[in-house]
């Protein structure tokens, strides 16, 4: 099977050639039915860099067969053993961070520094859950009438299906795989078609860390809906965990109703970034750079709407435009590059369309706003001032390096504007007043809030949203509960 399209240089070809481009089922690498494959592109050039196995419905079923077969033995494995596998995998990822980061940059486009940061963040979920594996506890209580004893214990949910997006090819996987391994669940993982290579490399690494066969199975496919639906409807599957867009999440919740699956949904966002009149503007601009430019804006947590008090909006917009306008754009694997391409042409067109719409409804472009010539799917860091709340960017996830600035005149208006969206993943607020910060974070309808900080992601904290941003939490002490069922035993005396 051709792996390398021949456009890569030196170490780039080696890291791509080091990936098994096949399906990983029952501990074995194998071709898809009929040896079918699909192409993986480098978004900075549009060139094919690899071909990976294109699973059929039967291949998908074989992966679930393997997960089901491995489940009961795996559930009985001593927790310490499961924890040690995760710990070893954390160490292997950390030792190979440079190669994994390069692989991720090649298939996804983000700069190497960003890929390295994701590798560290993604590995941390394995370390965190290696420590949680040995803390799966129950309770013991005397019933109020004194006649019985109430015991609770936690047991693995059972075989899980994990569907992940392209924007964080490693971390969106490890924050599901880590707790599932810790809890004693087996799994089928379906990485995004645009970025399957990092997950295939991770499967190899988990095998090296000692994960028994059948516990993790990886299926890559270009017929996603067709291959996933029968698995979701298969009565042997017990849980679906999905990270991706809200429309796909809605569809998958419907499909999960048939098997009454345990479901976790990490969906889209439309994060407000609030800057109050008493904010420290240096901190706010630093925070904005992180909240907007991390992952080139291709993050569910990316600040989507900058809501700034009218008295500081001009100054904030000017300073943000200066910083964003000075960033260097280029192929992610080149030294010093801070802004890589967007993941595909469609994503870039959508960003360009949102900017045109904002300008047509009255916004001023402070920096950026022009699509550069090809190759690659680049879009420059862009700041828009005086944006109307009627512009599409107020409602839609931008998923690119565009910062629209809206204004407000009172705290009440700021909170009302922040909550005026179907989404509720994260919000950021900058103020030097503790009392205002408390009023604001209590009033925001989101699963997470960053006060005077532009990043909230942390493996030790419960990540997740409310409203159309989904339900369930990943990371923190809560993360493992998504993979455990509580059983209550009544013990009569």
Q: Which residues contact 9 (CB under 8 A, 6 or more apart)?
A: none
Span of 42-50, 132-140, 187-195, 202-210 interacting with ligand NAP by CB under 6 A = 187-195
Q: How far is the CB of 12 from ligand NAP (least distance, A)?
A: 23
Interface with ligand NAP, residue 244, by CB under 6 A: yes
Nearer to ligand NAP, 190 or 436 (CB): 190
Nearer to ligand NAP, 92 or 216 (CB): 216
Distance CA 225, CA 340 (A): 29
| Annotated catalytic residue 160 | no
Contact 228, 190 (CB under 8 A): yes
| Annotated catalytic residue 47 | no
| Count of residues near ligand NAP by CB under 6 A | 29
Distance CA 394, CA 61 (A): 42
Q: How far is the CB of 380 from ligand NAP (least distance, A)?
A: 21
Q: Which residues contact 81 (CB under 8 A, 6 or more apart)?
A: none
Q: How far is the CB of 187 from ligand NAP (least distance, A)?
A: 14
Span of 43-51, 186-194, 410-418, 483-491 interacting with ligand NAP by CB under 6 A = 186-194
According to CB under 6 A, which residues from 289 to 318 bind ligand NAP?
A: 300
Distance CA 329, CA 337 (A): 6
Q: By Cβ distance, which residue is nearest to ligand NAP?
A: 244
Q: Which of 456, 122, 468 is nearest to 303 (CA)?
A: 456
Distance CA 465, CA 155 (A): 25
Candidates 198, 243, 295, 431: give the one binding ligand NAP (CB under 6 A). Answer: 243
For the four alpha carbons of 46, 48, 53 and 55, in that order, the dihedral sign comes to positive
Q: How far is the CB of 347 from ligand NAP (least distance, A)?
A: 8
> Which DSSP state fits 22?
S
Distance CA 45, CA 377 (A): 8
Interface with ligand NAP, residue 458, by CB under 6 A: no
Interface with ligand NAP, residue 193, by CB under 6 A: yes
Candidates 267, 313, 329, 393: give the one binding ligand NAP (CB under 6 A). Answer: 267
Nearer to ligand NAP, 112 or 163 (CB): 163
Q: How far is the CB of 16 from ligand NAP (least distance, A)?
A: 19
Candidates 22, 56, 115, 164: give the one binding ligand NAP (CB under 6 A). Answer: 164
Q: Which residues contact 262 (CB under 8 A, 6 or more apart)?
A: 157, 238, 239, 240, 482, 485
Q: Which of 220, 367, 190, 389 is nearest to 307 (CA)?
A: 389
Indicate which residue of 300, 397, 474, 482 is catalytic. 300
Residues 220-239 as x/- pattern, contact with ligand NAP by CB under 6 A: ----xx--x-----------
- Distances 71 to 60, 185, 232, 237 between C-alpha atoms, Å: 17, 7, 17, 11
Q: Order of strands across the sheet with 303-309?
A: 364-367, 382-385, 402-408, 303-309, 271-275, 426-430, 448-451
Nearer to ligand NAP, 79 or 230 (CB): 230
- What are the tokens at 20? 């098994």
Of all helices (H) and strands (E), which one includes residue 177?
Answer: helix 171-183
Nearer to ligand NAP, 224 or 419 (CB): 224
Q: How far is the CB of 80 from ligand NAP (least distance, A)?
A: 30
Distance CA 112, CA 245 (A): 25
Interface with ligand NAP, residue 64, by CB under 6 A: no
Alpha helices in 345-407 (DSSP H): 345-360
Candidates 74, 125, 166, 408: give the one binding ligand NAP (CB under 6 A). Answer: 166
Interface with ligand NAP, residue 428, by CB under 6 A: no
Nearer to ligand NAP, 59 or 411 (CB): 59
Q: How far is the CB of 397 from ligand NAP (least distance, A)?
A: 5
Distance CA 216, CA 203 (A): 7
- What are the tokens at 469? 């941003």
Contact 297, 274 (CB under 8 A): no
Span of 50-58, 246-254, 277-285, 287-295 interacting with ligand NAP by CB under 6 A = 246-254
Nearer to ligand NAP, 431 or 469 (CB): 469
Interface with ligand NAP, residue 270, by CB under 6 A: no
Interface with ligand NAP, residue 59, by CB under 6 A: no
Catalytic residues: 266, 300
Question: Which residues would be at the binding site for ligand NAP (CB under 6 A)?
Answer: 163-167, 172, 190, 192-194, 224-225, 228, 243-245, 248, 251-252, 266-269, 300, 397, 425, 465, 469-470
């Amino acid at each position: 099977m051709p792996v390398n399209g021949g456009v890569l240089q030196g170490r780039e070809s080696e890291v791509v050639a080091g990936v098994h481009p096949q399906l990983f089922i029952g501990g074995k690498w194998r071709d898809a039915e009929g040896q079918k494959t699909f192409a993986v592109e480098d978004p900075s050039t549009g060139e094919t860099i690899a071909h990976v196995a294109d699973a059929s419905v039967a291949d998908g079923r074989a992966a679930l067969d393997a997960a089901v077969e491995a489940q009961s033995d795996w559930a009985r494995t001593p927790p310490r053993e499961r924890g040690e596998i995760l710990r070893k995998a954390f160490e292997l990822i950390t030792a190979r961070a440079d190669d994994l980061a390069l692989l991720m940059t090649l298939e996804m486009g983000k700069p190497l520094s960003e890929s390295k940061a994701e590798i560290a963040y993604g590995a941390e979920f394995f370390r965190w859950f290696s420590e949680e594996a040995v803390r799966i506890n129950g309770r013991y209580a005397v019933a109020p009438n004194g006649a019985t004893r109430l015991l609770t214990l936690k047991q693995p949910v059972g075989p899980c299906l994990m569907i992940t997006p392209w924007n964080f090819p490693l971390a969106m996987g490890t924050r599901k795989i880590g707790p599932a391994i810790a809890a004693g669940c087996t799994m089928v993982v379906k990485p995004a078609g645009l970025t399957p290579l990092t997950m295939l490399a991770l499967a190899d690494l988990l095998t090296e860390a000692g994960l028994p066969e059948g516990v993790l199975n990886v299926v890559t496919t270009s017929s996603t809906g067709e291959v996933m639906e029968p698995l979701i409807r298969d009565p042997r599957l017990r849980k679906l965990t999905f990270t991706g867009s809200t429309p796909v999440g809605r569809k998958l919740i419907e499909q999960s109703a048939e098997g009454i699956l345990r479901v976790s949904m990490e969906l889209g966002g439309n994060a407000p970034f609030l800057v109050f009149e008493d904010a420290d503007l240096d901190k706010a601009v630093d925070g904005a750079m992180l909240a907007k430019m991390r992952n080139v804006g291709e993050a569910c947590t990316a600040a989507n709407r900058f809501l700034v008090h009218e008295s500081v909006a001009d100054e904030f917009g000017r300073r943000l435009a200066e910083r964003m306008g000075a960033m260097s754009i280029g192929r992610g694997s080149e030294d010093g590059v801070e802004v890589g391409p967007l993941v595909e042409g469609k994503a870039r067109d959508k960003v360009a369309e949102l900017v045109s719409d904002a300008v047509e409804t009255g916004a001023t472009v402070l920096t950026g706003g022009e699509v550069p010539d090809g190759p690659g799917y680049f879009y420059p860091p862009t700041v828009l001032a005086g944006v109307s709340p009627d512009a599409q960017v107020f409602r839609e996830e931008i998923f690119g390096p565009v910062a629209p600035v809206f204004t407000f005149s009172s705290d009440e208006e700021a909170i009302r504007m922040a909550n005026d969206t179907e989404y509720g993943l994260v919000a950021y607020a900058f103020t030097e007043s503790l009392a205002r910060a408390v009023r604001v974070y209590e009033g925001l309808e989101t699963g997470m809030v960053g006060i005077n900080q532009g990043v909230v992601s942390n493996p030790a904290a419960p990540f997740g949203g409310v409203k159309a941003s989904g339900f369930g939490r990943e990371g923190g002490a809560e993360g493992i509960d998504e993979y455990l069922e509580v059983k209550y035993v009544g013990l009569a005396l």
